[in-house]
Amino acid sequence: MEEKKTAWERLQIIHAKGRPTVNDYIPLVFTDFYEMHGDRLYGDDKAVLGGIARLKNMPVTIIAQVKGRDINENKACNFAMPHPEGYRKALRLARQAEKFHRPVICFIDTPGAFCGVAAEERGQGEAIAKNIAEFMTLRTPIISIVLGEAGSGGALALGVCDELAMLENAQYSVLSPRGFASILWKDASREKEASEIMMITAEDMVRLGVAETIIEEPLGGAHNDLDKISENIKEYLSYKIPEKCKKDIDVLLKERYTKFRKIGEFIE
């Protein structure tokens, strides 16, 4: 048994070079993957990947944020920071999945939605809001898995689901610890301190009701054994997807809303 890691130590693991991305997992978890492109409104955002594949024998829709494995890949996919058209592509493919009764699997791996002039001009806020609202009532099961980092509304836009799983070292946060330190304390260098008090680890997510499952990573992190971590993801999905598919869709939607509806702490 490994010694329990701190949030900061886990952060180093997910930011290390060689951390597997969705492009590493797809060939090992799925077969017959066909990538689909574009939002049919503006363009094709390479920060969001989408397509159809088989999980064992079952057709599924995959929607994922794409991290690059080197600088060139990262330039192409904008370091996994989507523009509005990326979120709109995701919604288009989710609707397609709904039509053909395919479950949706989302892989979340983003520091956040891109902050830029073009993103604002094309309605970053509206695109995220729309996804959150539409995914809430999408009439097909949705499972989301956080692969590495999940930052802010840009992550939540693929995070409204029936069940959220976190890879063991993955984190989910309202914004990056660096951004948090910079805004709250006006000092980005207090990043480490922020990471320790923000409650961003997989265990925190389960405790707070945000995530249901933690998918175990190989010793030292996912990069140490890609086959093993892929097998763990596949095993989880192969068990979870049929379970959700068996449920009456109206019951599933009610439970989906309730999952989010009950998160929060207040006194009356």
Partner 1 sequence: MFEDFFKVVKQRFNDGIDEDEHKIVKCPRCQNNIFLERYEELHRVCPNCNYHGRLSVSERIDITVDKNSFRELDADMISGNPIDFPLYTEKQQELREKTGLKDAVVTGTAEIKGSPTVIGVMDSRYMMGSMGSVAGEKIARAFEYATENSLPVIMFTASGGARMQEGIVSLMQMAKTAGAVKFHSDNGGLYITVMTDPTTGGVTASFASLGDIIIAEPKVLIGFAGRRVIEGTIKQKLPDDFQLAEFQHEKGFVDMIVERRKMRSTLSHLLKLHGYYPQEKEV
Residues in contact with partner 1 by CB under 8 A are: 113, 115-117, 119-126, 128-130, 132-134, 136-137, 152-153, 156-157, 159-160, 172-175, 180, 183-184, 197-200, 204-205, 208, 210, 257, 260-261, 263-268
Residue 58 CA neighbour count, 13 Å, CB half = 20
Nearest approach, Cβ of residue 259 and partner 1 (Å)? 9
Nearest approach, Cβ of residue 128 and partner 1 (Å)? 4
Q: CB nearer to partner 1: give 34 or 266.
A: 266
Q: CB nearer to partner 1: give 33 or 79.
A: 79
Nearest approach, Cβ of residue 9 and partner 1 (Å)? 19
Q: Across-strand partners of 105?
A: 62, 143
Distances in whole angstroms, Cα of residue 116 to Cα of each of 25, 167, 186, 192, 216: 30, 29, 21, 26, 36
Q: CB nearer to partner 1: give 25 or 172.
A: 172
Q: Across-strand partners of 225?
A: none
Nearest approach, Cβ of residue 17 and partner 1 (Å)? 23
Q: CB nearer to partner 1: give 199 or 226.
A: 199
Nearest approach, Cβ of residue 84 and partner 1 (Å)? 9
Cα–Cα distance for residue pair 151/154, rounded to 1 Å: 6
Q: CB nearer to partner 1: give 26 or 157.
A: 157
β-pair type (104-110, 142-151): parallel
Q: CB nearer to partner 1: give 29 or 113.
A: 113
Cα–Cα distance for residue pair 44/65, rounded to 1 Å: 13
Q: CB nearer to partner 1: give 20 or 159.
A: 159
Nearest approach, Cβ of residue 237 and partner 1 (Å)? 22
Q: CB nearer to partner 1: give 73 or 134.
A: 134
Nearest approach, Cβ of residue 82 and partner 1 (Å)? 12
Q: Are 150 and 109 in contact (CB under 8 A)?
A: yes
Distances in whole angstroms, Cα of residue 239 to Cα of each of 71, 88, 128, 182, 253: 36, 29, 29, 41, 19
Other Cβ atoms less than 10 A from the Cβ of 89: the count is: 28
Does the CA dihedral 16-67-50-261 come out positive or negative?
positive
- Please report, as a single letter, which amino acid is at residue 238: S
For residue 197, the SS3 value is helix
Nearest approach, Cβ of residue 44 and partner 1 (Å)? 21
For residue 33, the SS3 value is strand
